[in-house]
Amino acid sequence: MKRLLCAVLIPIALAFSLEAVAQPFPNKPIRILVGFAPGGNTDVVARIIAVRMQDLLGQPVLVENKPGAGGVVATDFIAKAPPDGYTLLMSSLGPHTVSPFLMKSVGFDPVADLAPVSNVAVNSLLLMVNPALPVKSVPELIAYAKANPGKLNFGSSGVGATTHLSGEVFNSMAGVKLVHVAFKGGPPAIAALLAGDLQLMFANLSDALPQVKSGKLRGLAVTTSRRVRQVPELPTVAESGLPGFDVAPWNGLVAPGKTPTEVIAKLSDTVQRIAKEQAFRDKMFEIGSEPLGDTPEQFRATINQDIQRWGKIVKDAGIKAE
């Protein structure tokens, strides 16, 4: 009888075991890390798309904040995570393509150690000031900064973030000296700006719009080459006296570098499908982002172009991490 039971049960157990091994991706929860504090643009984009990814993939998709070093801490963590598709990063331009040129060592290779999944959205930053600062335009800000060198502080979401680099590029192009103060995320920096501890900052639209529309802070210009639909009345920095100024940060999903191509394809196809949904697109526009949904190849091309561009900007401007 025992032999008979073994003869029956062992094949059944083996079948269940093989079935478990052969389960298609994903078969357990997925984590999306965000390298900044909760409430910022990158965090909001991650949480919006995580909800739909969960619906389409049939597994929980959890967002976890891991701030530090302007997003570098989370990026380095992902670069060293198991390449199985279950630990992802909502990356951004700063820590992914700029920080490697600002810091002596970030601990990862942005090309070899990170696998592009899909560029989810592109954003604009908004240059805004505390109303106590007597300027109402970019030319007035430049004139005031030149008359008061080293006396204006600008905040950022962290060293190497685009909110930081925008200010440094502004310094270089305008010939002024704005003093950088780093925070762990955009919302803490905006809180300091509201309190008067800072005089200005370049902030993500999702962070800046509520404060500007309420009149608590004064918007001067946007950083992209074109005006944005959310605040069409605001000019670009480029058309306000600094031709060529163009900072358009993105938020894209990446995985550890050696993640299997079939897993990358499954994740990317899911994001691309979501990016075409009108409800998702409406939510992106609401927070000041333009939805994309690129293929891995398109996203990699964007990353490579930004690495070349920002590497040159950082070198030519002599920008250093604080």
Classify each residue of 198-211 as buried b or exposed e, where b means 16 or more C-beta atoms within 10 Å of its C-beta. Answer: bbbbbbbbbbbbeb
Token readout for 243 is: 């031709």
**pLDDT value of position 57:** 98
**pLDDT value of position 8:** 54
Q: What type of residue is 291?
A: P
**pLDDT value of position 19:** 45
What's the mean pLDDT in 142-160?
Answer: 92
In sequence order, the 6+-apart residues with CB closer than 8 A to the CB of 108 are 75, 76, 79, 80, 114
Query: CA of 183: how far to CAs of 65, 202, 217, 287, in Å?
Result: 15, 13, 18, 21
* Conformation bin of residue 185: beta by default, left when phi > 0, alpha when psi is -120 to 50: left
Domains annotated for the chain, with CATH where assigned, are 28-122+249-317 (3.40.190.150), 125-240 (3.40.190.10)
* Beta-bridge mates of residue 170: none
Q: If DSSP codes are grouped into helix, strand and coil, which group holds residue 308? A: helix
Residue 107 has pLDDT above 50, yes or no: yes
Strands 125-129, 61-65: pairing is: unpaired
Q: In what order do the strands lie in the sheet with 125-129?
A: 179-182, 153-156, 200-204, 125-129, 218-222
**pLDDT value of position 315:** 83
**pLDDT value of position 20:** 44
Are the beta carbons of 228 and 236 closer than 8 angstroms?
no
pTM exceeding the 0.75 threshold for the entire prediction:
yes
Residues 277-287: tens digit of each pLDDT: 999 999 998 88
**pLDDT value of position 6:** 55
Q: Please state, in angstroms and rounded to a whole number, the distance separating the CA atoms of residues 270 and 35.
A: 22
**pLDDT value of position 18:** 47
Token readout for 15 is: 């079948």
